[in-house]
Amino acid sequence: MLDQPVRITAEAHYQIQNTLNHQKIPAEYGLRVGVRGGGCGASWLLGFDTPGPTDEVYNVEGVRVIIDRKHLLYVLGAQIGFEAGEEGRGFTVEKA
């Protein structure tokens, strides 16, 4: 089993914990990381969810991360970040 299939920047970690606490999201929820679509049109899927039967759950620097087994190869090595700028603010995903 992989220890940490994704990385989370310090700012993203702060924002995730802040959201979990302020929105009073229950402890059984975690950050779902995956892909939507296929081929060149694939986009990243990030959100809070509970694990299902085809999911793997990881503890990445204190954040509960949920990844569907069929998405694991696509998200392996990704870095989740957070940016705030003139165009808005939000989470980013970069794949090495």
C-alpha Rg value of the chain to the nearest Å: 13
Residue 1 lies in a domain: no
10 Å CB burial of residue 71 (0-12, 13-18, 19+) is buried
* 82 inside domain: yes
Do the Cβ atoms of 2 and 58 come closer than 8 Å? Answer: yes
Q: Number of structural domains, the chain?
A: 1
- Alpha-carbon span 13 to 63, nearest angstrom: 7
24 in a structural domain = yes
Q: What is the pLDDT of residue 2?
A: 66
Burial (CB < 10 A; 0-12, 13-18, 19+), residue 87, is: exposed
Q: CATH no. for residue 28? A: 2.60.300.12
Residue 93 has pLDDT above 80, yes or no: yes
Total-model pTM: 0.88
Look at residue 35 and tell me if it is in a domain: yes
Domain range holding 84? 7-95
pLDDT of residue 96: 73
* pLDDT tens per residue across span 37-91: 766 667 899 999 999 999 999 999 899 999 999 999 999 999 999 998 888 899 9
In a domain, 83, yes or no: yes
Residue 2 lies in a domain: no
Give residue-wise pLDDT tens across range 4-48: 899 999 999 999 999 999 999 999 999 999 998 766 667 899 999
